[in-house]
Amino acid sequence: MTAIAPKKRTSPLSLPNILTYGRIVAVPIVVACLFWPEVIWVRWVAFGAFALAAVTDYFDGYLARAWGQQSSLGRMLDPIADKLLVSSCLLMLAAEDTIHGWALLAAVVILCREILVSGLREYLAELRVSVPVTQLAKWKTTLQLVAVGFLIAGRAGDAIVPAVTEVGIALLWLSALLTLYTGWDYLQAGLHHLTKEDT
């Protein structure tokens, strides 16, 4: 009879988790820098901090899988870190007028979807129903991060390469459409189990 090895517990201070913590720590740094959007060098500091945080979104998951350091803590914090980073930046970019006019609608779509999905995840977790993250949802997050990165560069980027802000707005609309599409999976799962509960 073969003994079953106990499941290895991943430390909260494993490198993948530390990268996720770093992404959360970057949020107030980027937000603080965006309070002075007219100061070019501060804008570049915001962009640098955001870009570094966005890169960790790939490496924390990759290293966790490669080193067998996946954990419940990491699975919980990773989407929270993404949502904090994207949502706070969208709000600041709208406040300082990089996102304005009809583009505000794209930002609202993204924010509303994230709130809806968070609520549905909590509801489904109570029912012990898991909705796995699809590859398309991962691309959605990547596109959101790229769009926000272009918009943070904004006017500072436009001074070097024309139309940086316009590219960011176009990518924001694309990510909003992808956000709606990927949110449908969660909505379907939530409605399915809600109707089952009512019958």
pLDDT at 8 over 60: no
Could you tell me the pLDDT band of residue 80, with boundaries at 50, 70 and 90?
confident
User: Does residue 7 form part of some domain?
Assistant: no
pLDDT at 47 over 90: yes
79 vs 123, more confident:
79
Contact (Cβ atoms closer than 8 angstroms) between residue 17 and residue 74: yes
CATH of the domain at 117: 1.20.120.1760
Q: What angle do CA 168, 148, 173 make, to 5 degrees?
A: 50
User: Does residue 73 form part of some domain?
Assistant: yes
User: Does residue 68 form part of some domain?
Assistant: yes
Supply the range of the domain harboring residue 120.
Answer: 15-191
Rounded Cα gap, residues 95 and 183, in angstroms? 26
User: Does residue 41 form part of some domain?
Assistant: yes
User: Does residue 1 form part of some domain?
Assistant: no
Could you give the number of structural domains in the chain? 1
Q: Provide the whole-model pTM.
A: 0.84
CA gyration radius for the chain? Answer: 19
- At 14 the pLDDT is 80
Averaged pLDDT, 20-35: 92
pLDDT at 29 over 60: yes
User: Does residue 101 form part of some domain?
Assistant: yes
Rounded Cα gap, residues 141 and 145, in angstroms? 6
User: Does residue 108 form part of some domain?
Assistant: yes
Averaged pLDDT, 161-188: 88
Question: Residue 17: is it exposed, middle or buried by C-beta count within 10 angstroms (0-12/13-18/19+)?
Answer: buried
- At 12 the pLDDT is 75
Contact (Cβ atoms closer than 8 angstroms) between residue 151 and residue 98: yes
Could you tell me the pLDDT band of residue 5, with boundaries at 50, 70 and 90?
very low
User: Does residue 171 form part of some domain?
Assistant: yes
Give residue-wise pLDDT tens across range 93-134: 999 999 999 999 999 999 998 888 777 777 666 767 666 667
